[in-house]
Amino acid sequence: MAIFIDKKTKLVVQGITGRDGAFHAEQMKKYGTDVVAGVTPGKGSSKVAGIPVYNSVEEAVAATGANTSVIYVPPTFAADAIYEAIDAGIKLVVCITEGVPVNDMLKTVEYVKAKGARLIGPNCPGLISPELAKVGILPSTIVKKGSVGVVSRSGTLTYEAIWALTLADMGQTTCIGIGGDPIIGTNFIDCLAAFEADPNTKSIVMIGEIGGSDEETAATFIKEHVTKPVVAFIAGQTAPADKRMGHAGAIVSGGAGTAKGKIDALNAVGIPVAGSPTEIPELLKERIKRFSTRSTRPTAKTVVTRIATPARPAKAAAPKRKPAGKHK
């Protein structure tokens, strides 16, 4: 078992004739993912790495029964590609594209929710369930099958953490990068709920970074709903305020979204935060040991199925952000 993708995944690659699309379609196929189709408008009936190409997602789904899509189209066309996949009945869409306008995502995310589908990304490396399937761009050489679930907002930092786990002989069920943008389809909570529900996942690593309040929300969620050992890492402790640190989402503004605030929130609910990515395996081992020797395990109020459907948080949980005012 794994989360979101496994042997039942039948993948369609949107933008398969592009440079990135073609390269990664082949990589995913080589890894053993069931890549059933590619889509590029106007290039139907050609082939890429032996994968049949269709003019639309609708055609591809009708011909192959694809149930998952991965998007490698340029940012200008990314929102449209997501709509197309959703309208063709795809229930899991992974958008790798970086640089998608926030306004486009605001509408798209609303639409995806209304249709009861799941979007991962944009601006993410995708996900990999070792020995089962890979959707996205994560290097398959660094993963190993096992029982750790990894969820992260970043790309190469995730690789660093996964590599450290693999070197410590701690394999993974699924490694997922949810993306570094302000508006993304799947957040930490969605992934934590899925890992909690997955019987093969025995422990969880969560990698966050500055900006937004997703890590703080996740801390509360873990306290209430996650019974498995969790350790975290937060990047951006040295980042100055009001500067965008590469990821559109990684910006500390108006005192909100600092690394310290996130680390404090996690520590407050008993989640250890590693000082370096290389310390994650040791910390997780200790944590697992403590959980297995503990007489009373925390009782989770299991509402996992409710959380798994993307629901809008209640208004009471409204943003703590202050108006970004005062500039006279």
Partner 1 sequence: MKVHEYQAKQVFAKAGIPIPPGDVATTPHEAVEIARKMNRPVMIKAQVHVGGRGKAGGVQYAENAEAAQVLATKIIGMDIKGLKVKKVLVTAAEEILSESYVGIIVDRAQQRPVIMVSAAGGVDIEEVAAKTPQKIHKLWVDPILGLRAYQARNLAAKLYRDPGQMRQAADIIMKLYDVFWKADATLAEINPLVTTPGGKVIALDAKLNIDDNSLYRQPEIAAMRDLDAEVPEEVKAREADLSYVKLDGNIGCVVNGAGLAMATMDLVKRYGGEPANFLDIGGSSNPQKVVSALEIILSDPNVKAILFNIFGGITRLDDVANGIVAAFAQLKPSVPVVIRLTGTNEKEATKILAGMKLPTARTLDEAVKTAIEMAKAEA
Binding to partner 1, residues 7-66 (CB under 8 A):
none
Pick left, alpha or beta for residue 289 (phi over 0 → left; psi -120 to 50 → alpha; otherwise beta): alpha
Query: Tokens 């929130």 label which residue?
Result: 265
Catalytic residue among 24, 225, 247, 327: 247
* Alpha carbons 49 and 25: distance in angstroms, whole number: 8
Beta-carbon contacts of residue 213 (< 8 Å; ≥ 6 apart): 256, 257, 319, 320, 321
Nearer to partner 1, 10 or 115 (CB): 115
Identify the residue among 138, 218, 252, 283 touching partner 1 (CB under 8 A). Answer: 138
Within positions 267 to 306, which residues make up the interface with partner 1, using CB under 8 A?
275-278
Beta strand 172-177 with 51-54 is unpaired
Note whether 76 binds partner 1 by CB under 8 A. yes
Nearer to partner 1, 36 or 165 (CB): 165
Note whether 106 binds partner 1 by CB under 8 A. yes
Note whether 179 binds partner 1 by CB under 8 A. no
Check if the beta carbon of residue 226 is closer than 8 Å to that of residue 192: yes
* Alpha carbons 129 and 273: distance in angstroms, whole number: 24
Give all strands of the β-sheet with 68-71 in edge-to-edge order: 47-48, 51-54, 34-39, 10-14, 68-71, 92-95, 118-120
Query: Tokens 């992260």 label which residue?
Result: 152
Q: Which stretch binds partner 1 (CB under 8 A): 31-39, 126-134, 178-186, 288-296?
A: 178-186
Active site residue 247: yes
Identify the residue among 15, 38, 121, 125 touching partner 1 (CB under 8 A). Answer: 125
Site map (CB under 8 A) of partner 1, residues 239-268, x = contact: xx--xxxxxxxx---x----x---------
Query: Tokens 């590609």 label which residue?
Result: 81
| CA dihedral of 248, 141, 47, 51, whole degrees rounded to 10 | -100
Note whether 316 binds partner 1 by CB under 8 A. no
Nearer to partner 1, 244 or 289 (CB): 244
- Minimum CB separation of residue 208 from partner 1 in Å reads 9
Q: Which parts of 178-256 are beta strand (E)?
A: 203-209, 230-235
Q: Residue 21: how many CB atoms within 10 A of its CB?
A: 22
* Alpha carbons 20 and 272: distance in angstroms, whole number: 37
- Minimum CB separation of residue 237 from partner 1 in Å reads 5
Identify the residue among 38, 146, 149, 180 touching partner 1 (CB under 8 A). Answer: 180
Number of residues that bind partner 1 (CB under 8 A): 74
Site map (CB under 8 A) of partner 1, residues 214-233, x = contact: x--x---------------x
Within positions 148 to 177, which residues make up the interface with partner 1, using CB under 8 A?
152-160, 163
- Minimum CB separation of residue 110 from partner 1 in Å reads 5
The catalytic residues are 247
